[in-house]
Structure 1
Amino acid sequence: MSDDAVVGFMVPHHGSFTYLRAAVESALAQSDERWSMTVVEDGADRRVGAWLRSLDDPRIVHEQNPVRLGIAGNFQRCLDLSRTMYVTFLGNDDILLPNYVETIVSATAAYPRATVVQPRVQVIDADGQLCWPIADRVKARMAPQPRQAVELAGEPLVTSLMRGNWTYFPSLCWRREHISWLGFRQDLPTTLDLALLADVLIAEGTMVMLPEVAFQYRRHAASASSAAARDADRFGEEAALLDELAVRCHTRGWERACRAARVRLTSRLHAAQIGLAAAHGRDWGRTGTALSHALTPSAHARQTTS
């Protein structure tokens, strides 16, 4: 790791070597060189280590997991290996715009106590072209749209996120000391992003929202979140997590956040969309699973009405 590094890119890798190359090359194109990168490989593609070593850049390190850890396990190993003050869990298929490090360093200097920084994000498709799917249009409608940097915290922010997670996890930059003691939930491999964010915000962390576009998030059919949504696994995880968060918010006295977590509006709408699409394709098993998540009351609601 470079001694001058401020931002550490931790890349949990299992998937496309082509996309990974583009992600690494986007780091090499940064206008501010105060970064390091560790690619933590959870597979057995010999091309990865060989290519990374061929770059001969001391800022870039390759780690090979001795056994397959899976999504949540590999994210935790990335956190365990991180050493910089700030850390970004960069998706192996995403792209850093050249101003990412410069933008983050400036924001963290202005808001040194912030837990996490969210720059503005562009969405790209499998071929790297800008796109605007309905999921991202919904996110944009739900997210704050600041014209200048703003620091958010407390129940209003948590309430907003309980209505729908409008963040782009791979673009978030975290103050490492604020999350190292929490770690990633191993029981929530596809919703560990929201779980970690809720943990730090309930523990009085803050988020800085930036107006600068500094990241490109790749949305494509092969991504883990898309695959999980198709199989309806994500909705079960979301339901369990939001039921848990509803109780935690209620205990803290955050009743608006509790209600938003209990209703889980966007999660239900997304599940209904997947269920109806499955029904159109006569995939009755997936239809039933998805629609049950869309229609079943939350556990917290059942407890409070019983």
Structure 2
Amino acid sequence: MDHSFVIPAYGCSPHLVECLESLKSQTAQGSEIVLCTSTPSDDLSRLAERFSVSLRVHGPNGGIGRDWNAALDCASRGWVTIAHQDDVYLPDFVKLTMAAVERTPKASLVMTGYSEMLEGRVRERSKMLRIKSVLLELGFLGRHAVAAQSSKTRLLRFGCPVACPSVTLGPPLSKLRFREDLRVDLDWEAWIRAALLPGAFCYVRERLMLHRIHGASETTAGVRDGARAREDAEMFGTLWPAPVARLLARAYALSYEEGGHA
């Protein structure tokens, strides 16, 4: 299996065991699984031993962007999923992701559908999830893959509908790294750059993971302190003239009120 799960572990999340259990329970077995951390502890070492996964340490701690980049550097396989420590991957995630790779020879990135977990329950429908679904279809127009720059960029022009933990990066994007000065939109910014490079984006519409929404996440903190609004404005500014970018950034901020700001 030419696939790695890399988990940027910060501290020891109470949900990390559930995440690791889901990775080890994939119907397609054989993926490399690596825990990567700048905050080593006995608890993380015990978990790595319990689940028979590698534990790599980097440092010093430099924020979420550095954690994600260090995790990518830990992968030894061609296709890499940054598995967020609070999330759960459904059993067919690897099987259907790699099937998309096999039927798309020029694939560079695969994204999947997902549901949200909020306060212990699964939320399959929300205003934000519906908006993201529309934005994805705007880019893919019913297809399972798009390779044209215009199509790849179009799905990102009205916001970021791509859930970072659902993304698997391929060899054509092996050198792609995240901006370490961003706190919230570092994935959106990376996908914009990836859209300008050769290769096809693939979309597996099945909901193959559960993304946890909680008050301690960096995204939630970024909404509270205004970092999300600032970074959204910067991203829209790279894609639109200034007046349109301001309108879109304001409209996007209104959606945070529902809590579906993953």
Q: Which amino acid aligns with 1:138?
A: I
Which segments of structure 1 move beyond 4 Å, counting only runs of 4 or more?
Answer: 145-148, 259-262, 272-275
Q: Which deviates more, 29-38 or 119-128?
A: 119-128
Alpha carbons of structure 1 residues 61 and 146: separation in structure 2 relative to 1, 3 Å = farther
Aligned partner of 1:226 in structure 2 is: 220
Aligned partner of 2:155 in structure 1 is: 160
CA deviation profile, 1:82-111 (whole Å, cap 9, x unmatched)? 211100111111111000111112111111
In the alignment, the residues of structure 1 paired with residue 166 and residue 243 of structure 2 have an alpha-carbon distance, to the nearest angstrom, of: 24
Given that 1:86 and 1:174 are in contact with CA atoms closer than 8 Å, whether structure 2 keeps it comes out as yes
Given that 1:16 and 1:93 are in contact with CA atoms closer than 8 Å, whether structure 2 keeps it comes out as no
Q: CA RMSD in A?
A: 2.5
Given that 1:182 and 1:196 are in contact with CA atoms closer than 8 Å, whether structure 2 keeps it comes out as yes
Please give the TM-score of this superposition, normalised by the length of structure 2. Answer: 0.87
Following superposition, the deviation at residue 261 of structure 1 comes to: 9.9
In the alignment, the residues of structure 2 paired with residue 259 and residue 103 of structure 1 have an alpha-carbon distance, to the nearest angstrom, of: 38
Given that 1:30 and 1:99 are in contact with CA atoms closer than 8 Å, whether structure 2 keeps it comes out as yes
In the alignment, the residues of structure 1 paired with residue 67 and residue 121 of structure 2 have an alpha-carbon distance, to the nearest angstrom, of: 25
Aligned partner of 1:78 in structure 2 is: 71
Following superposition, the deviation at residue 274 of structure 1 comes to: 5.8
Q: Which deviates more, 221-230 or 43-52?
A: 43-52
Q: Is 1:263 paired with 2:259?
A: no
Q: Secondary structure at the match of 2:80?
A: strand
Alpha carbons of structure 1 residues 101 and 238: separation in structure 2 relative to 1, 3 Å = same
Aligned partner of 2:184 in structure 1 is: 190
Given that 2:6 and 2:36 are in contact with CA atoms closer than 8 Å, whether structure 1 keeps it comes out as yes
Q: Secondary structure at the match of 1:106?
A: helix
Given that 1:42 and 1:70 are in contact with CA atoms closer than 8 Å, whether structure 2 keeps it comes out as no
In the alignment, the residues of structure 1 paired with residue 212 and residue 119 of structure 2 have an alpha-carbon distance, to the nearest angstrom, of: 7
In the alignment, the residues of structure 1 paired with residue 212 and residue 24 of structure 2 have an alpha-carbon distance, to the nearest angstrom, of: 19
Q: Is 1:180 paired with 2:180?
A: no
Q: Secondary structure at the match of 2:122?
A: coil
Please give the TM-score of this superposition, normalised by the length of structure 1. Answer: 0.75
Alpha carbons of structure 1 residues 93 and 126: separation in structure 2 relative to 1, 3 Å = farther
In the alignment, the residues of structure 2 paired with residue 148 and residue 158 of structure 1 have an alpha-carbon distance, to the nearest angstrom, of: 15
Q: Which has the higher strand share?
A: 2
Q: Which amino acid aligns with 1:230?
A: R
Alignment partner for residue 103 of structure 1, among 78, 84, 96? Answer: 96
Aligned partner of 1:285 in structure 2 is: none
Q: Which amino acid aligns with 2:150?
A: E
Alpha carbons of structure 1 residues 107 and 160: separation in structure 2 relative to 1, 3 Å = closer
Aligned partner of 1:171 in structure 2 is: 166
Q: Which has the higher helix share?
A: 1
Alpha carbons of structure 1 residues 133 and 222: separation in structure 2 relative to 1, 3 Å = farther
Q: Which deviates more, 234-243 or 98-107?
A: 234-243
